Amino acid sequence: MIIVAHVLLILLGATEILQADLLPDEKISLLPPVNFTIKVTGLAQVLLHWKPNPDQEQRNVNLEYQVKINAPKEDDYETRITESKCVTILHKGFSASVRTILQNDHSLLASSWVSAELHAPPGSPGTSIVNLTCTTNTTEDNYSRLRSYQVSLHCTWLVGTDAPEDTRYFLYYRYGSWTEECQEYSKDTLGRNIACWFPRTFILSKGRDWLVVLVNGSSKHSAIKPFDQLFALHAIDQINPPLNVTAEIEGTRLSIQWEKPVSAFPIHCFDYEVKIHNTRNGYLQIEKLMTNAFISIIDDLSKYDVQVRAAVSSMCREAGLWSEWSQPIYVGNDEHKPLREWFLIVIMATICFILLILSLICKICHLWIKLFPPIPAPKSNIKDLFVTTNYEKAGSSETEIEVICYIEKPGVENLEDSVF
């Protein structure tokens, strides 16, 4: 234990001495790096390189370097090595600075800056392309044993406002260490290239590197200014729609199932949206899911169209584009049922109208009484107690004798006794 204690004391003393050497009170002079250069090593890629100052005082310390990007976009970072790679657009030029630094818990010592610059490439203003857009798409690769999926690339752009009519544009892309020139172009009415299609590329569908696209050009009348742009794959990857979408109705339950899109990403890397549209009342229901099945309670008297779309989940990469909606699946009652209902209503209304017309005709032509003579009402027994009228014929047919027989009306008391 005594030996261990002595060792700890020695280490503690060495640490204090080292910290004392790094205090700002020490007269340590930091000199800037030398031979700072910027070299283009690929499309939209530069290598920054420098060397330590040979006159720098050597001490038992680790010197670092601070790199500052001045243009086209400001950035800064620190490194312990004497070179750095940068991926950035170059059609606007590039400039950077570097200095030597020494930092500890108490302070930061730094040398002066040294700078280098790349000028913007030559070209007449207004001749470079504008509105460059690119998308990628993944398909199954049945021709290669090394890769199960193949990525295509499609880019479009607009001709520069001041570009001559004979301008010819050429597109290149770089992904990682691979660079390719486009071979399939689409043209405008003047024969100028305005779109490019790569059916097969070296782009990795699950890759995270920047995609670099450069478009330059040529003309007999003017120097065409080049244009380059960086694309993040997650922002331009056009996901395929889900496969084998099915929908079934059982009573009031609508069951929907599907399979993941054609993609190098596994099944757990997808989010889905289900769209259910009631074609009768126009009601639209959209649900977001992480599974490949959904059940909804519906009105079994309506017809529905069902669609599903997909996107790569943020668990597997940065959020990107949604796919197109799948082809609609129609389920529910036949779409012609409402027409049949209206047809039945019209038939019933027509029958009622015809019956009404017939009844009016019968009434006008006195056919109603002939067809349906009135039923005589039954005679009252109480009236028979009061009056009886007899008609008799006496003598010849020309003489008619009317005999009226009256029944004497008893008193009230006698009537009550006779009735009750």
Region of residue 191 (left: phi > 0; alpha: psi -120 to 50; beta: else): left
**Tokens 């770089």 sit at which residue?**
174
Fold designation for 34-118: Immunoglobulin-like (2.60.40)
- Where exactly are the structural domains of the chain? 34-118, 130-238, 250-331
Of the candidates 121, 127, 204, which has an alpha carbon nearest to the alpha carbon of residue 166? 127
pLDDT at 101 over 70: yes
- Here the tokens at position 180 are 């390719």
**Tokens 């889900």 sit at which residue?**
242
pLDDT in tens, 118-161: 999 999 999 999 999 999 999 998 776 667 899 999 999 999 99
Q: Can you give the pTM of this predicted structure?
A: 0.70
Q: What stretch of H or E contains 174?
A: strand 168-175
* Strongest mean pLDDT among 25-34, 171-180, 341-350: 171-180
Query: 8 CB contacts (<8 Å, ≥6 apart)?
Result: none
Distance (Å, rounded) from C-alpha 55 to C-alpha 62? 16
Class of domain 250-331: mainly beta
Homologous superfamily of 130-238 in CATH? Answer: Immunoglobulins (2.60.40.10)
- Here the tokens at position 356 are 């009404």
Cα angle 46, 230, 316 (rounded to 5 degrees) comes to 110
Of the candidates 173, 193, 177, which has an alpha carbon nearest to the alpha carbon of residue 185? 193
pLDDT at 1 over 70: no
pLDDT in tens, 364-418: 766 556 666 666 655 555 445 444 444 444 344 443 434 333 334 444 444 344 3
pLDDT in tens, 315-351: 999 989 999 999 999 998 755 555 566 677 888 888 9
pLDDT over 90 for what percent of the chain? 61
